[in-house]
Amino acid sequence: MKALLCTQFGGLNRLELKEVAPPTPGPGQLRIAVKAASLNFPDALMVQGLYQIKPALPFSPGSEFSGLVVEVGSAVKRYRVGDRVIAFGLGGFAEQALADAERCMPLPLGMDFEVGAALILTYCTSLRGLKDRGRIQAGETLLVLGAAGGVGAAAVEIGRALGARVIACASSEEKLAFCRELGADETIDYTKEKLRDRVLALTDGLGVDLVYDPVGGPLTEQALRATAWGGRLLVIGFAAGEIPKIALNLCLLKERALVGVYWGDSLKHDPASHERNVAQLLAWIANGKIRPRISERVPLAAVPALMARMAARQIMGKAIVLPEAA
Ligand SMILES: NC(=O)c1ccc[n+]([C@@H]2O[C@H](COP(=O)([O-])OP(=O)(O)OC[C@H]3O[C@@H](n4cnc5c(N)ncnc54)[C@H](OP(=O)(O)O)[C@@H]3O)[C@@H](O)[C@H]2O)c1
């Protein structure tokens, strides 16, 4: 089978497309014929050795995928060969991949493989952040940074679904138009406008209640300064490459809070909320309140170039990898 392999950490051009033997599942695992995988920011960090998790070499990246079960580990009771599943783990940028059965879920009836591969990581992160960690309330104002990216776009849609007024921020008019199509009420180009000034102008000088921040860098402090009394800032990630250092007097002054979000680890610590959130997302998909936006589809050989474009801020919504495509 074909697999994209990371044999050494480093530049994206070191990834190699190779012919390898299909993997053998352990007792609690499934072997899955991958029909679609989605690219997430951590995938590109991981192959460069820049992510908090460093898998043993060699490995195939690709943390989120969907496909057909082709082999079932001896201890797995819930799945059978032929089942359609969504999986979260590693190895999705290959024709076949292993996944722990407990990190899989059935692909809902009527959902196609591409949507299944684009759903869990970004939407669960954003729902975990906005609802469980940010305690967002209907009628509150939400500021989303990097709002045309993977987790940002999900935050815009979920913010609207939870009844918030959403101000979406991104770096170009094309991205802002995309955010309006997602449902954003207002948009700000933070490369051209002063973030705090524009936010205050849009909120009668009060500021926003909640910030969703997957970008980091200097924008974090600007966004925190644009929050209202009792405002919260969700620390989602640092796509800008810089972890900001914040003076804590900014929290004292308006009783603001900085709130961390780590969806992957929250599965261990709060599995019940994950179950509830997945059920909520499926209900919203069914009634059309949310819809993953797939902006492009590429074969395995094009993944390094796709990762480079993600690092260059050139992807909107979700990009899908199709391992069977030539
Ligand atoms: N905490 C969690 O549980 C969790 C879960 C998933 C992802 N994350 C993190 O969230 C972040 C975003 O992930 P994603 O999948 O949404 O990525 P993405 O699709 O690439 O979106 C990131 C956005 O960040 C903005 N950005 C600003 N400066 C950037 C730079 N120098 N390089 C790249 N992007 C830049 C871009 O928007 P503009 O061009 O409009 O500024 C881009 O659309 C990552 O740091 C990821 O590790 C965290």
How would residue 306 be classed by pLDDT, with cut points 50, 70 and 90? very high
pLDDT at 5: 97
Same domain, residue pair 110 and 136: no
Cα 215 to averaged position of ligand 1 atoms, centre (Å): 6
Query: Is 34 a member of any domain?
Result: yes
State residue 11's pLDDT score.
Answer: 86
Distance (Å) from CA 311 to ligand 1 centroid: 9
Cα torsion 324, 62, 84, 108: sign? negative
Tokens standing for 123? 């939407």
Q: Checking DSSP bridges between strand 64-72 and strand 84-88, what pairing results, if any?
A: antiparallel
Q: Rounded to whole angstroms, what are the CA distances from 193 to 197, 199, 217, 296? A: 8, 10, 16, 29
Domain that holds residue 301: 2-119+292-321
Q: Which helix (H) or strand (E) holds 109?
A: none
Please name the residue ranges forming H helices in the chain: 41-47, 113-117, 120-127, 150-161, 173-182, 195-202, 218-225, 249-253, 263-269, 271-286, 303-311
Residues 166 and 185 in one domain: yes
Domain end call among 221, 249, 265: 265
Domain shared by 212 and 307, yes or no: no
Same domain membership, residue 109 and residue 92: yes
pLDDT tens track for 112-127: 999 999 999 999 999 9
Mean pLDDT, residues 41-65 taken together? 94
Kindly state whether residues 154 and 88 are assigned to the same domain: no
Confidence of residue 52 (pLDDT cuts 50, 70, 90): confident
- Which CATH number goes with the domain that contains 49? 3.90.180.10
CB 125 within 8 A of CB 154: yes
Q: How far is the CA of 242 from the centre of ligand 1 (A)?
A: 12
* Residues 108 and 150 both lie in one domain: no
- Judged against a pLDDT cut of 90, whether residue 82 lies above it is answered with yes
Please identify which residue in the block is written with the tokens 């059978």: 80
Distance 258 CA to ligand 1 centre (A): 18
Measured between alpha carbons, how far is 217 from 145 in angstroms, rounded to an integer?
A: 11
Answer whether residue 73 is part of any domain. yes
- Other beta carbons within 10 Å of 29: 25
| Residue 78: pLDDT band with limits 50, 70, 90 | very high
Nearest-CA residue for ligand 1 atom 27 is 240
Average pLDDT in the 70-78 region?
98
Task: Calculate how far, in angstroms, residue 31's C-alpha sits from the geometric centre of ligand 1.
Answer: 30
Q: What is the mean pLDDT of residues 258-274?
A: 95
- Looking at the predicted structure, is the pLDDT value of residue 77 above 90? yes
| Nearest alpha-carbon partner for 166 in 151, 155, 150, 177 | 155
Q: Is the model's pLDDT at 243 over the cut of 90?
A: yes
Residue 286 lies in a domain: no
Closest CA to 322 of 83, 38, 29, 23: 38
Q: Is the pLDDT of residue 43 over 90?
A: yes
Query: Is the Cβ–Cβ distance between 116 and 282 less than 8 Å?
Result: no
Distant-in-sequence, close-in-space partners of 180: CB < 8 Å, separation ≥ 6: 168, 187
**Which pLDDT score is estimated for 288?**
94
pLDDT given for residue 64 in this prediction: 97
Same domain, 190 and 313: no
Mean pLDDT of the chain: 97
> How many whole angstroms separate alpha carbon 63 and alpha carbon 43?
7
Structural domain contains residue 276: no
pLDDT at position 13 is: 87
Does residue 282 belong to any structural domain of this protein?
no
Asked if residue 254 is part of any domain, the answer here is yes
Q: Choose which residue among 123, 236, 294, 314 to substitute to test ligand 1 binding: the one with the highest number of ligand atoms within 8 A of its C-beta.
A: 236
Q: Does any domain span residue 279?
A: no
Same domain, residue pair 34 and 126: no
pLDDT for residue 326 is more than 90: no
Count: domains in the chain? 2
Mutate to test the pocket of ligand 1, among 157, 313, 314 (most ligand atoms within 8 A of CB): 313
Position 88 pLDDT exceeds 90: yes
Residues 51 and 177 in one domain: no
Please tell me whether residues 160 and 89 are part of one structural domain. Answer: no
Ligand 1 pocket list (CB less than 6 A): 40-42, 121, 125, 146, 148-152, 170-171, 175, 214-215, 236-241, 261-264, 310-311, 313, 315
pLDDT of residue 131: 98
Q: Give the closest residue (by CA) to ligand 1 atom 37.
A: 146
- State pTM to two decimals: 0.96
Both 193 and 214 in one domain: the answer is: yes
Task: Please report whether residue 280 resides in a domain.
Answer: no
Q: Are residues 110 and 130 in the same domain?
A: no
5-22 burial: b if 16+ Cβ within 10 Å, else e = bbeeeeebeebebeeeeb
Tell me the average pLDDT across 215-229: 98
